[in-house]
Amino acid sequence: MITGFPWLISLCVSRFGASLTFMMYAGALTTTMQNWRMTSSEAGLVQAAFNFCFALSLVVFSLLADRFGAKRVFRWANTLTAIASVACALFARSMESGLVLFAALGLAQGGTYGPSIMLVAQGVPLGRRGTAVGWLLAAASFGYFGSIALSNSISRTWDYETAFLICGGVSAAGAIAAIIGVRDRPNLKSDHALSWMQGCQLLRDRASALLTLGYMAHCWELLGMWAWMPAFLTAALSFSTSLGQFSQGLWVAAAIHLSGGIATFSMGYASDKFGSRRVLILIGMMGAICSISIGWMINQPPAVILLLAAVYGFAVIGDSPVLSAAMTKAVEPGRLGMALAVRSILGFGVGGMAPLAFGFVRDGQSDAAVWGWPFTMLGIGGVLATYFAVLLPRDRPRNKLTGSKRGFD
């Protein structure tokens, strides 16, 4: 499918490069906590700052993409991401400096996401859009895998500074792919840019409102899991004598993000074939079950924990392409940037609190409950995501001639 849109390949390469820096703090969290002498709450604060700035960035860049064109904004955002990631590698040496620099990285990262989805919406037909968004997010998931694998392994084998620098260098290559890859795409602008109040009114539509609520629940579970799962798996595998530190990092990354890469592609395709609502209900239930159970299994054999972590990684990211593709179908193209902006600030505003809340709950626990109750708290997101998916109107049937769907009834 992707071969029918050559520019989409470059778009995916650029998303891989940008995503390689997205998880490098989480991947090196065990090492940075030791070197920067942080408590769990302080470590969660740095990640929360990144998440909040990423949320703000999603809003700003989505609005700019409506006004100045997704193509132009996407290229600038990738350049800023490369610069900010290298700055993190060179200058983040304490909780205070890390807080500032990773916040700056979050501010740059948002422009690599929303405008990329807008570019897909502009260039891919409705009936193939779920699959296309799935490819795009799968590329990001493989970038997250590389980010965790490199930052976790290299920070524990050598140092976190080297890990950050390698991730930043690859993100610079991704920025070049972004600049070159979409140069022949039209830079479409909206002739009727919406105000923020008008954008919020888009949520008066039932499908758009439920998709946004589902996205908020999704972000709570996803961002909390992404921030703390590498540290959890590192602790769970630390007593294994058969795995070295470098191979442990690879297993940690694979469990979380290789399964996520498979999920983003396969669930995007599934939403085109079976409908968004069915897929969202199934994935929401899977995520809730994994969140509630995994933290209490810290003392189980590594193979069991890694298998459950892989299912967890599949579940918490599997609804992302479905939610995004469904939003592109529920909202008119000229209003999509604003709709994504409203969704982003609400979703990441809520989800950005999850790593910090996880740290606070963890600081107050002992023994197995150190991980059990914080992850159970994340399961609230999975339960709510399932509930909002159940309330969604049923997908309209495919058009018998074109194979496309017209969104929701």
Say if residues 140 and 19 touch (Cβ distance below 8 Å).
yes
> For position 110, what pLDDT does the model report?
83
What one-character DSSP code corresponds to residue 268? H
Q: Which residue, among 255, 252, 231, has the nearest Cα to 243 in the 3D structure?
A: 252
Residues with Cβ < 8 Å from 323, sequence gap 6 or more? 211, 214, 215, 218, 276, 280
**At what angle are helices 6-19 and 114-123 packed, to 10 degrees?**
170
Q: Name the helix (H) or strand (E) containing 166.
A: helix 160-181
> For position 402, what pLDDT does the model report?
39
Calpha distance 187→71 (Å, rounded):
5
- Judged by DSSP in three states, 21 sits in coil
Tokens of 335: 């209003």
DSSP characters for 314-353?
A: HHHHHTHHHHHHHHHHHS-GGGHHHHHHHHHHHHHHHHTT
Structural domain includes residue 407: no
Structural domain includes residue 251: yes
Say if residues 148 and 96 touch (Cβ distance below 8 Å).
no
Q: Which residue, among 180, 181, 179, 178, has the nearest Cα to 14 in the 3D structure?
A: 178
pTM of the predicted model as reported, rounded to 2 decimal places:
0.71
> For position 35, what pLDDT does the model report?
94
Cα 164 to chain centroid distance, Å, stands at 19
310-344 residues labelled b (16+ CB within 10 A) or e (exposed): bbbbbbbbbbbbbbbbbbbbbbeeebbbbbbbbbb
Structural domain includes residue 398: no
Say if residues 10 and 123 touch (Cβ distance below 8 Å).
no
Structural domain includes residue 405: no
What is the domain extent for residue 66? Answer: 2-183+192-391
Phi-psi category of 185—alpha, beta or left, where left has phi over 0 and alpha has psi -120 to 50? beta
Q: Which residue, among 41, 121, 135, has the nearest Cα to 359 in the 3D structure?
A: 41
- Count of CB atoms within 10 A of residue 6's CB? 11
Say if residues 154 and 163 touch (Cβ distance below 8 Å).
yes
- Judged by DSSP in three states, 408 sits in strand
In tens digits, what is the pLDDT along the chain, a chain of 409 residues?
Answer: 444 567 888 888 888 999 999 989 988 988 999 999 998 889 989 988 998 898 888 878 877 887 888 888 999 999 999 999 999 999 999 999 999 999 999 999 988 888 888 888 887 777 777 778 778 877 887 888 888 888 888 988 899 999 999 999 999 988 888 888 778 787 877 655 555 555 566 566 788 889 889 999 999 999 999 889 988 988 888 766 555 555 666 777 777 777 877 887 788 778 888 888 999 999 999 999 999 999 999 888 888 999 999 999 999 988 888 887 788 777 766 667 677 778 878 888 898 889 889 988 998 777 767 899 999 999 999 999 999 999 998 765 444 433 444 455 4
Residues with Cβ < 8 Å from 305, sequence gap 6 or more? 233, 236, 237, 294, 297, 298
Structural domain includes residue 396: no
Number of domains composing the chain: 1
Say if residues 145 and 22 touch (Cβ distance below 8 Å).
no
Alpha helices in 182-205 (DSSP H): 196-201
Structural domain includes residue 406: no
Q: How many residues does the chain have?
A: 409
Calpha distance 143→381 (Å, rounded):
24
Say if residues 269 and 346 touch (Cβ distance below 8 Å).
no
CATH of the domain at 323: 1.20.1250.20
Measured CA to CA in angstroms, residue 310 lies from 128, 145, 282, 296 at distances of: 27, 12, 16, 16
Say if residues 271 and 326 touch (Cβ distance below 8 Å).
yes
Residues with Cβ < 8 Å from 6, sequence gap 6 or more? none
The distance in angstroms from the start CA to the end CA of the chain is 27
Structural domain includes residue 397: no
Residues with Cβ < 8 Å from 229, sequence gap 6 or more? 26, 252, 256, 309, 312, 313
- Judged by DSSP in three states, 395 sits in strand
Calpha distance 374→378 (Å, rounded):
7
Structural domain includes residue 402: no
